[in-house]
Amino acid sequence: MKCRSILLSFLFILCCSQGQAQSAFNVKVVGKGSPILLFPGFACTGDLWQGVTSELSKHYECHIFTFAGFGDVPPIGKPWLPNIKDSVIKYVNNHKIYGATIIGHSLGGTLGLWLAATEPAMFKKIIVVDALPCTGALMMPGYKSENIVYDNPYSKKIREMDSAAFLEMAKQQTAYIMLNKEKKSQVVEWIMKADRSTYVDGYVDLLKLDLRADLTKIKIPVVILAATYPNKAAIEKNYNEQYANLNEKTIYYADNAAHFIMYDQPEWFLSKITESLR
Query: What is the pLDDT, as a whole number, of residue 2?
Result: 44
At residue 10, does pLDDT exceed 80?
no
Query: Is the pLDDT score of 19 beyond 50?
Result: no
Flag whether 2 is in a domain. no
Which pLDDT tens digit goes with each residue over 171-208? 999 999 999 999 999 999 999 999 999 999 999 999 99
Asked whether 249 and 32 are in contact (CB, 8 A), the reply is: no
The mean of the pLDDT values for the chain is: 93
Q: Is the pLDDT of residue 93 over 70?
A: yes
In a domain, 268, yes or no: yes
Under the banding of pLDDT at 50, 70 and 90, the label for residue 12 is: very low
Q: What is the largest CA-CA distance in the chain?
A: 73
| Model confidence band, residue 3 (pLDDT cutoffs 50, 70, 90) | very low
- Beta strands in the chain, from DSSP E residues, in sequence order: 25-30, 34-39, 60-67, 100-105, 123-129, 222-227, 249-254
166 in any annotated domain: yes
Which are the contacts of 73, defined by CB distance < 8 A and separation ≥ 6?
23, 25, 26, 66, 67
32 falls within a domain: yes
The per-residue pLDDT for 65 is 98
- Whether the pLDDT of residue 8 is over 90: the answer is no
For residue 9, what pLDDT is reported? 40
Pick from 27, 36, 52, 28: which is nearest to 99 by CA? 36
User: With 50 as the cut, is the pLDDT of residue 7 above it?
Assistant: no
pLDDT for 150 beyond 60: yes
- Cis omega (within 30 of 0) on the bond before 230? yes
Name the percent of the chain lying above pLDDT 70.
92
Task: Compute φ and ψ for 34, nearest 5 degrees.
Answer: -65, 140
Structural domain of residue 264, as residue ranges? 21-277
Whether 4 is in a domain gets the answer no
Confidence at residue 76, expressed as pLDDT on a 0 to 100 scale: 97
Q: If pLDDT is split at 50, 70 and 90, which confidence band does 230 have?
A: very high
Instruction: Tell me the Cα Rg of the chain.
Output: 19
Residue 11 belongs to a domain: no
Quick check: pTM over 0.85? yes
Q: According to the model, what pLDDT value does residue 49 have?
A: 98
DSSP H/E element including 18: helix 2-22
| CATH code, 138 | 3.40.50.1820
Number of domains in the chain: 1
Q: 43: alpha, beta or left, given left = phi > 0 and alpha = psi -120 to 50? A: left
Name the residue among 113, 92, 71 with its Cα closest to residue 206. 113
Residue 21 has pLDDT above 60, yes or no: no
Mean pLDDT of 160-176: 96
Q: From residue 258, give the alpha-carbon distance in Å to each of 106, 139, 203, 268.
A: 12, 17, 20, 13
